[in-house]
């Protein structure tokens, strides 16, 4: 069966993807997210980040991730987002699996991500991809910003 998600392409991100990404993150997440997505992520980590596009949607989805410069065993995924019209059809899973392949190639044995304890969609997504969901860490990102650590072996 052919579905719309069979028709996307995936490429490495570029620095100039920053503007179209920040233009949609608040809408895609349903809350203010721009503060957590500085331009530096596209300027300095674009080669290991990914953008998916269709003929109709130049930004169908994206993943921002990188091998940790400080922990040689770990790759880190900072953001993943999929256009609301493209969800629940495997696009984010595909972006993650492509990222995992690259991360293994660079010798990484684990992948880490962080999310908010009340972001049930993100937690369910990561659980479905085999991540373990840690306990809530109070004030992880500063006062009042509790977070959950998500980890998966590669």
Contact residues for ligand COA, defined by CB under 6 A:
28-29, 79-82, 87-93, 115, 119, 121-122, 124-125, 128
CB of 94 to ligand COA, least distance (A): 7
Pick the closer one to ligand COA by CB: 38 or 72: 38
Q: 126 near 150, Cβ under 8 Å?
A: yes
Q: 49 near 12, Cβ under 8 Å?
A: yes
Q: 118 near 30, Cβ under 8 Å?
A: no
CB of 48 to ligand COA, least distance (A): 16
CB of 146 to ligand COA, least distance (A): 15
Pick the closer one to ligand COA by CB: 72 or 97: 97
CB of 116 to ligand COA, least distance (A): 9
CA–centroid distance for 29 within its chain: 12
Of how many residues is the chain composed?
Answer: 154
What angle (nearest 5°) sits at the alpha carbon of residue 44, between those of residues 42 and 48? 75
Pick the closer one to ligand COA by CB: 24 or 154: 24
Secondary structure (3-state) at 55 = coil
Pick the closer one to ligand COA by CB: 67 or 79: 79
């Amino acid at each position: 069966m052919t579905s719309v998600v069979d028709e996307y392409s995936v490429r490495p991100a570029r620095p100039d993807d920053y503007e179209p990404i920040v233009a949609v993150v608040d809408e895609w997440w349903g809350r203010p997210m721009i503060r957590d997505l500085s331009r530096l992520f596209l300027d300095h980590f674009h080669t290991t980040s990914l953008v998916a596009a269709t003929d109709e949607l130049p930004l169908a989805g994206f993943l921002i991730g990188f091998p940790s410069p400080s922990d040689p065993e770990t790759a880190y995924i900072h953001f993943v987002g999929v256009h609301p019209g493209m969800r629940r059809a495997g696009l984010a899973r595909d972006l993650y699996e492509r990222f995992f392949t690259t991360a293994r190639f660079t010798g990484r044995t684990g992948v880490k991500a962080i999310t908010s304890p009340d972001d049930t969609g993100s937690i369910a997504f990561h659980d479905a991809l085999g991540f373990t969901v840690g306990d809530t860490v109070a004030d992880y990102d500063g006062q009042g910003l509790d977070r959950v650590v998500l980890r998966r072996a590669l």
